[in-house]
Amino acid sequence: MPELQLPVAIGPLAIFRQGPEDLLIKWLDGHHAVFPFDYLRKSCPCAGCGNKHGHEAPKEAESGGCGSEGCGDGGCGSHQQGVLVQGASGPSDIVSLAAIGRYAVSFTFGDGHGTGIYSFEYLREICPCEACASSRQAG
Ligand SMILES: [Zn+2]
Ligand SMILES: [Zn+2]
């Protein structure tokens, strides 16, 4: 298993991989929180996942609709569930990270999904730390 290198200090935040399942995000204002990979995967804001800020309606990606010959007979390996990208330890494992301009990052997960663009604002919004969670509930 190759050691994963994630870039740090992107825009207004710094991102570190912390252990096998967590990402530590530090904002420049001193706030920091641990985001489990699984949490980030579920919070994917892309249209395919159907997440909209705070609206929890995860939709399973369509499966079996690849249309290529052999697909559906088990012959199309790239469209089967459970197929992980190289180096991933699970479907929610973050295998790479890219800066999107100066306002967002995108993650590629172990299941190959990588179309979600997580703006810094969105990441802050879904911050799972106690302080942010309690302030969301209060609001
Ligand atoms: Zn998505
Ligand atoms: Zn927080």
pTM for this predicted structure: 0.71
The answer as to whether 8 is a domain residue is no
The answer as to whether 67 is a domain residue is no
CA of 14 to the centre of ligand 1 (A): 22
The answer as to whether 102 is a domain residue is yes
CA distances, 43 to each of 11, 12, 119, 122 (Å):
21, 20, 12, 10
Share of the chain above pLDDT 70, in %: 68
The answer as to whether 2 is a domain residue is no
Split into its structural domains, the chain has a count of: 1
Please tell me the predicted confidence (pLDDT) of residue 60: 45
Please tell me the predicted confidence (pLDDT) of residue 94: 94
Q: Which long-range contacts (CB under 8 A, 24 or more apart) does 9-13 make?
A: 10/99, 10/105, 11/99, 11/102, 11/103, 11/120, 12/120, 13/120, 13/123
pLDDT of 98 higher than 70: yes
Q: Which of 125, 82, 85 is nearest to 107 (CA)?
A: 85
Residue bearing tokens 């298993």 = 1
pLDDT of 26 higher than 80: yes
CA of 138 to the centre of ligand 2 (A): 14
Closest ligand by atom to 112 CA: 1
Closest ligand by atom to 124 CA: 2
Residue 28 C-beta-side C-alpha neighbours within 13 Å:
8
Domain that holds residue 118: 13-57+81-138
CATH number for the domain spanning 23: value is 3.30.2020.30
Q: DSSP assignment, residue 78? A: G
Closest ligand by atom to 13 CA: 2
Please tell me the predicted confidence (pLDDT) of residue 117: 95
The answer as to whether 7 is a domain residue is no
When mean pLDDT is compared over 19-23, 62-66, 101-105, the highest value belongs to 19-23
Closest ligand by atom to 131 CA: 2
Residue 32: phi, psi to the nearest 5?
-150, 155
Dist. CA 35–CA 15, nearest whole Å: 10
Instruction: Name residues with Cβ closer than 5 Å to ligand 1, which is an ion.
Output: 44, 46, 48-49, 116
